[in-house]
Amino acid sequence: MNEVLILLLFMIGLWLLIMDPHVIRKVIGLGFMNNAVVLLFVLRGATAGTTIAILTTGTENIVDPLPQALMLTAIVIGVCITALALSLSYNLYLRYGTFEIDEIRSRTEHDPE
Partner 1 sequence: MTQSDLVFLLLVLPLGGAAFAAGARLVHRPGLQRLMLAAGAVLALALPWVPLIMLAGTTAKGLAISGTVGGWAHALGIEYRFDGLALLITMLGMLLTIPPWIYSRSMAVDHPIFDCFVYIQSAFLAAAAIASDLFNIFVCMEVLGIASYVLIFFARKPQATLASLSYLFVSAASMLFYLLGVYVIYLTTGSLSFNDVAARIQEAELLHRREIDIGLGLMVSAIALRVAVVPVYGWLPDAHAMAPHPVSAMLSGVLIKTPLFVLLRLVIMFPEQYQIGRVFALAGAATALLGVVLALAQSDAKRLLAYHSVSQIGYVVTAWGGSLAAGITTPLGIALAAASWLHALLHGIFKGTLFLATGAAISSAHERNVYVLRDAAQWLRAQGLHPLPTILAFAAGALSITALPPWSGFISKNILVSFIENPALSLLLLLASVGTVASFLKLARIFLPNPGQLAESAVHSIPAHPHPNRTATPASTVPLAPAAQRWVIRPHPLNLALLIGALLCLVGGIAGPALYQFSLTHISGWIQSSPDRVLASDLAREEIAALLRAAELSPEKLAQQASPAYLYAAASLLKTLWITLAGGALFLLLRLGPARELLHRIESRQRSFSGLFLAFFLGAALLALSMYYRWP
Residues that bind partner 1 (CB under 8 A): 14, 17-19, 23, 26, 30, 33-34, 37, 40-41, 44, 66-67, 70, 73-74, 77, 80-81, 84-85, 88-89, 91-92, 95-96, 101, 104-105, 107-108, 110-111, 113
CB of 51 to partner 1, least distance (A): 19
Report d(CA 53, CA 14) in Å as an integer: 34
CB of 58 to partner 1, least distance (A): 19
- Residue 87 CA: distances (Å) to CA of 4, 53, 80: 33, 39, 11
51 by DSSP, 3-state: which? strand
